[in-house]
A and B are shown apart, each in its own frame.
Chain A
Amino acid sequence: MSRFPETLALILCAGTATAGDLGRPALPQEIAAWDLDIRPDGMGLPEGAGDVATGEELFSETCAACHGEFGEGVDRWPKLAGGDGTLADDDPQKTIGSYWPYLSTAWDYIHRAMPFGNARSLDADQTYAILAYLLYSNDLVDEDFVLSRDSFLTVAMPNADGFFPDDRATTELPLFSQPPCMADCKQEVTIRMHATVLDVTPDDAAD
């Protein structure tokens, strides 16, 4: 039995080898082991719950060395809290509270990728608790808040409406698809900035 769509099947029948029936069925336990992702609508969230206080303790132990006690970030490690109202500033501070449109993204990422260097070590309750604490650090919930599968969709993310789909097709492509100027395109040219003045290039960069 060929599982290819007709067009492909036709090509394959024309004397070349067919693939058909490659691979084996994925077992339910195998799918469960890898299918950990969470979607904005909550699809994928496991049973469980965690409160702010438990989360604070866990965060302090496993996350604060890089992200700071309150998620304010240490050195160049990412900030996870703060930055409210800075997105239109010269130096926007993008954090879970100020920027992330969906809470599910944070649950999904922390559960699968953090702590850095020891991914996959947090269970569901711990993840709920740490995220409850991060919401608290971002002034989005009170200190007695408990995050669970049930309370998940009640949390409002401040920048949820701050995103729009790629609009280059209308805002840029027509503008940038004009016949290009080839001669006498501008009057004068002045240099306004030199990279060597800034001097941020690694020393051994030039041969």
Chain B
Amino acid sequence: MTDSNATGPNRRHFLAAAAAGSALAATAARAAPPDPRITEVQDWNVSWGDGVDATPYGLPIHHEAEVIRRNVPWLTADAVSSVNFTPIHALEGTITPQGCAFERHHAGAIDLPKADYRLMIHGLVDRPLVFSYDDLERFPRQNHVYFLECAANSGMEWAGAQLNGCQFTHGMIHNMEYTGVPLRALLAEAGIRPEGKWLLVEGADASAMSRSLPIEKALDDVLVAYKANGEALRKEHGYPVRLVVPGWEGNMWVKWLRRIEVGDAPWEHREETSKYTDTMADGRSRRWTWEMDAKSIITSPSPQARVNHGRGPMVISGLAWSGRGAIRAVHVSLDGGRNWQQARLSGPSHDKALHRFYLDIDWDGSELLLQSRAVDTTGYVQPTKDQLRAIRGVNSVYHMNGIQTWLVKPNGEVENVEIS
């Protein structure tokens, strides 16, 4: 289904209304008092607004002050090693504005000027090199849209419905258009020796963030990025330079990238042993679970985006993504997974990027159990949480991509629930 299809329910609704009661509707319209927003002259229609010198760099208008990153203070001991969440319940389209894209850092967001930036490549290479920021801008550039999802996104849902809002359950994700240099171009400058099979990628901050990256991925689609959504990376996203590891867990997208070492074996550092390993029911743990499985979430209606209108036309809006390719289809259920309908994808469809889907329904005002299910271009179908639990148990923390359920009540309230 594409955008060009007429939105069935809406049209049906209007046609039905026209047929059943055009006379009634006209009477109702006549009975309502005239709207003063129309009949009275408004201030903004009389006097000047802000000049072009008022806001050299704009923030969202104050009416949108609620659309911000939020954190859950009890999750972590200290805000400098913590996470906040993207307000996906209030965003539309596919691109995440940098200013509200979630942050996760382990020792705070550092202030690293471009002039002080250095990137070193060494280890099993012919020529150990140091690049400045300006050097990076002299390599041929590429632009790509990719999602970044923290492997722990939705992790609390392993134990069932916990946090009430998709910002909290699914907000450790963002989707940006990156400008940068393919990592393989930088590696080619240094010349990888044949024994070089793994890279250690390391950040400049105080958290000793480092991950082992297999050479196949490094030579495939990894980018060394310095711009996002057209502008410089924000401080909290790794200014001036971060790694972009498409489709793979966000922890590997090292921010403030300062060093790449080529080696013949993985390093097994803290973020790939103590953390980002997935413990199964028998106590053994999966490691190297880099790829993000296909997933989707209905962003509206959702607990923070309740239904403020009564019965009639309702837009169900959501996001879908896969670390293995693009999204082929999204299905939406109104009855807790008994029956499914094909949703409409709208907007760009890139590999390893967020997709926007819609289902436009004619709500009869009764209770709904909303679910969405993504299918990616490999044919993978987003599983239920119980299907995942049957294989992994409930203690794996990371990589929870199960189908989410929202209960929409007749009064328009929406709640995170776990269903059979």
Contact with B along A170-189 (1 / 0, CB 8 A): 01110111101111111011
Neighbouring B residues of A5 by C-beta, 8 Å: 184, 188
Q: Does B267 contact A (CB under 8 A)?
A: yes
Chain A at the B interface: SS class: loop
Q: B210 to A37, Cβ gap below 8 A?
A: yes
Stretch at the interface among B131-139, B226-234, B235-243, B350-358: B131-139
- For the complex, count residues of B whose C-beta is within 8 A of A: 100
Chain B at the A interface: SS class: loop
Q: B167 to A205, Cβ gap below 8 A?
A: yes
A156 and B185 CA atoms in complex are apart in Å by: 41
Knowing A30-B130, A37-B202 are in contact, say whether A22-B417 is a contact too (CB < 8 A). no
Q: Does A23 contact B (CB under 8 A)?
A: yes
Q: B162 to A88, Cβ gap below 8 A?
A: no
Contact with B along A9-28 (1 / 0, CB 8 A): 00010001101011111100
Knowing A26-B128, A176-B387 are in contact, say whether A181-B340 is a contact too (CB < 8 A). yes
Q: A116 to B107, Cβ gap below 8 A?
A: yes
Neighbouring A residues of B305 by C-beta, 8 Å: 207
Q: B160 to A167, Cβ gap below 8 A?
A: no
Chain B's nearest CB lies how many Å from the CB of A89? Answer: 8
A2 and B121 CA atoms in complex are apart in Å by: 18
Neighbouring A residues of B122 by C-beta, 8 Å: 26, 31, 35
Q: Does B369 contact A (CB under 8 A)?
A: yes
Q: A109 to B279, Cβ gap below 8 A?
A: no
Neighbouring A residues of B263 by C-beta, 8 Å: 39
Neighbouring A residues of B165 by C-beta, 8 Å: 201, 205-206
Partner of B163, one of A101, A193, A200: A200
Neighbouring A residues of B207 by C-beta, 8 Å: 113, 119
Q: B185 to A8, Cβ gap below 8 A?
A: yes
Partner of B286, one of A35, A102, A164, A201: A164
Neighbouring B residues of A194 by C-beta, 8 Å: 161, 407, 415-417
11 contacts between A and B (CB under 8 A): A3-B191, A19-B189, A23-B130, A31-B120, A87-B283, A109-B270, A113-B208, A163-B287, A189-B420, A192-B418, A196-B415
Residues of A within 8 A of B (CB): 3-5, 8, 12, 16-17, 19, 21-26, 30-31, 34-35, 37-41, 66, 75-77, 87-88, 90, 92, 94, 96, 99-102, 104-106, 108-109, 112-113, 116-117, 119-120, 162-168, 171-173, 175-178, 180-186, 188-196, 198, 200-202, 204-207
Q: A195-B161, A196-B415 are in contact. List 19 more A-B contacts (CB 8 A).
A: A4-B185, A19-B189, A21-B189, A31-B128, A34-B259, A35-B122, A35-B261, A40-B268, A102-B273, A106-B270, A108-B270, A109-B269, A117-B107, A180-B375, A182-B339, A198-B162, A201-B165, A201-B168, A206-B303
